[in-house]
A = this chain, B = another copy of it.
Amino acid sequence: MAQKPSIPKGTRDFSPLEMAKRNYIFDTIKSVFLLYGFQQIETPAMENLSTLMGKYGEEGDKLLFKILNSGDYLKSAPDDLLASKDYIHLITKVSEKGLRYDLTVPFARYVVQHRNDLQMPFKRYQIQPVWRADRPQRGRYREFYQCDADVVGSDSLLNEVELVSMIDEVFKRFGINIVIKLNNRKILSGIAEVIGAPDKIVDITVAIDKIDKIGLDNVNVELAEKGLTQEAIDTLRPLLTLSGTNEEKFATLESLLASSKDGLKGIEEIKFVLDNVTALNLKSNVELDVSLARGLNYYTGTILEVKALDVEMGSISGGGRYDNLTGVFGMDGLSGVGISFGADRIFDVLNSLDLYPADTIATTKVIFINFGDKEAQACLQHMAQLRAAGISCELYPESSKMKKQMNYANAKGIPFVAMVGDNELTSGTVSIKNMSTGEQQSYTIEEAINLLEN
């Protein structure tokens, strides 16, 4: 026998059960996106390398999956590069296309390419796989879905309010308790400004984040090691011990950032978002978290992140505002704000908290046992009626032993088994067995529909 086939490392097959759960996740998110007026687009898996390269840093360029040109891919490859096996400089000679690395760059490309057909503000969502040649490890895949919603062409902070409300609605539907953490890039800039260490923002946010784990003193030691002056560390102290309600945090921040125009602007922005969000009485806690710094170079205003409360897990959603999505493609001045849902992590959270609704794994509602061709033909007639009533059903295709057919029904988790034998053929009825209670009874087709519809 040939070797058992396999799939590339870091990729996955999804079984019917996994697909049912994934569909539940994506369908839930999609229905909320639609409720908030977002519209779906899709872009090709392959983009020109000229679109992708240089957008994710040097490391990102390496992680792009590149597609070998069709036909004679070596025809434009210079002899000297081949002779020296200069694989780096040969890449663009043998490959013009790559698989998308995320949904953001293709979206930016889409907006620029279709600018004349788009109504601004443009509220789009997109749910598609992306590919990264990362080293595969637990929870990190080379193919995974991203699930993004963005509004571009509007500076209004009401977009942030809507996005926070949308996140709340999504996780309410999932039954996952969350906290939504908010920050603002301008607050981080302000902090850097007042302590005179603009290049230390990442170190500072990392330090703030560690307070709970290692304590204030150790954090201060770390900050000193990173090169912060004692004066800067002293100035930072109120920030490191920031606590209490959002209002109390704001009071501390406002005093700390009093001299920074940028910092005060950031506070004003985040207050606007929080005020409006508070008025909506969301289910989730929404709180200021000045240690939040994701994608620092990318975001220019609001930064947000979502953590599940009842399970240990990295952020399950996040996003923020950016100033110039499309500048890199020659279209300046387009601001936007967006969020992304981490489908794989949400999948894990729902699994570990066992939160899937019972009907997620909707399989066939009823299977008809096959007693032979004549009976099967009668079953097909009944099935047409059940299906017209929206009841999913199937006929075991072979007239195998009863045990084998029942095993199939069990393995597939089918809750009802229907039997049409001689008696039923004569009376035009069907015997239905409830697989969980073991009860079995004879029904007319109309009665059967009533029974199975519920």
| In the assembled complex, A254 has its CB within 8 A of some CB on chain B | no
Query: Given A8-B97, A411-B119 in contact, is the A39-B68 Cβ separation under 8 Å?
Result: no
A339 vs B83: C-alpha distance when bound (angstroms): 49
A338 to chain B, nearest CB (A): 14
Candidates B46, B51, B165; contact of A143 at CB < 8 Å: B46
> By the criterion CB–CB under 8 Å, are A394 and B68 in contact?
no
Query: Given A6-B113, A36-B392, A279-B381 in contact, is the A43-B13 Cβ separation under 8 Å?
Result: yes
Q: Which residues of B contact A35 (CB under 8 A)?
A: 387, 390-393
Q: Which residues of B contact A186 (CB under 8 A)?
A: none
> By the criterion CB–CB under 8 Å, are B117 and A15 in contact?
yes
A137 to chain B, nearest CB (A): 15
A16: nearest residue on chain B (CB-CB)?
Answer: B39
Candidates B41, B154, B390; contact of A14 at CB < 8 Å: B41
Q: Mark A359-390, 1 if CB is under 8 A from B, else 0.
A: 00011100100100000110011001001001
| In the assembled complex, A45 has its CB within 8 A of some CB on chain B | yes
> By the criterion CB–CB under 8 Å, are A397 and B159 in contact?
yes
Candidates B40, B44, B143, B364; contact of A11 at CB < 8 Å: B44
A366 to chain B, nearest CB (A): 9
> By the criterion CB–CB under 8 Å, are B20 and A113 in contact?
no
- Residue pairs across A and B with Cβ atoms less than 8 A apart, 29 shown, are A4-B112, A6-B48, A7-B109, A8-B46, A8-B97, A14-B42, A19-B41, A36-B393, A37-B363, A37-B393, A44-B143, A45-B143, A46-B143, A62-B70, A65-B70, A66-B68, A68-B91, A74-B90, A75-B87, A77-B85, A82-B83, A121-B397, A154-B398, A161-B380, A162-B380, A162-B395, A162-B397, A276-B380, A279-B381
- A residues contacting B by CB (< 8 A) are 1-8, 11-16, 19-20, 23, 34-37, 39-48, 50-51, 62-63, 65-68, 70-75, 77, 82-83, 85, 87, 90-91, 94-97, 99, 109-110, 112-114, 117, 119, 121, 123-124, 129, 131, 133, 142-143, 151, 154-156, 158-159, 161-162, 165, 169, 276, 279-280, 328-331, 362-364, 367, 370, 376-377, 380-381, 384, 387, 390-395, 397-398, 407-408, 411-412
